[in-house]
Amino acid sequence: MFIRITNGQPEEYTIGQLRRDNPMVSFPRDIPEATLAEYGVFRVHETPRPNPDPTKDIVTLPPVLVNGVWRENWGEVPLTADEIYARALDAVRNARMDAYPSIEDQLDMIYWDMVNSTVQWRDLISSVKQAHPKPPSA
């Protein structure tokens, strides 16, 4: 990612935009950092995206200049109670999907339960639901 400094503020910018904005300039394929800087364009170096706690979301903030290098910048935003509940519910659904056997295997279990008068399928599904309970509603 690149930025251009305009009125002291960084704004997202692309090499394509640089070429369009300067049609009379022949830039090499890989433009040196010093050349970019002459046009007020800087590479933004990646920083690890933080892992938020379950009650927050991570948002991208404008890049920051750290020791002469522009870096990605992250912020946290609190989630609403409904968003927290939706995330928890999604996590339970994903865990259950990973734990359930395939539909084909479940249908086979149901068939054999009917033939043998057993309840293996019901017990398996109950154990998955007990291992991964839904969160209390928001």
Write down the pLDDT at residue 104.
97
HSE of 91, CA atoms in CB hemisphere, 13 A: 12
Last residue of a domain, one of 37, 53, 78: 78
Does one domain contain both 23 and 87? no
Does one domain contain both 92 and 52? no
Residues 84-92: contacts with CB under 8 Å, at least 24 apart: 84/54, 84/55, 84/138, 85/135, 85/137, 85/138, 87/54, 88/54, 88/135, 89/134, 89/135, 92/132, 92/133, 92/134, 92/135
* pTM listed for this prediction: 0.61
**Distance of CA 8 to CAs 5, 21, 127, Å?**
6, 19, 59
For 95, the domain range is 81-131
Instruction: Flag whether 49 is in a domain.
Output: yes
Does one domain contain both 14 and 53? yes
Instruction: Flag whether 137 is in a domain.
Output: no
Q: Is the pLDDT of residue 109 over 90?
A: yes
Instruction: Flag whether 138 is in a domain.
Output: no
Contact between residue 50 and residue 76 where contact means Cβ atoms under 8 Å apart: yes
Write down the pLDDT at residue 8.
86
Mean of the pLDDT values across residues 18-37? 95
Does one domain contain both 13 and 74? yes
What is the separation of C-alpha 40 from the centre of its chain, rounded to a whole number of angstroms? 30
Does one domain contain both 12 and 29? yes
Instruction: Flag whether 68 is in a domain.
Output: yes
**Overall domain count for the chain:** 2
Does one domain contain both 10 and 44? yes
Does one domain contain both 89 and 57? no
Does one domain contain both 65 and 21? yes
Hey, how many other C-beta atoms are within 10 angstroms of the C-beta on 35?
A: 14
Share of the chain above pLDDT 70, in %: 99
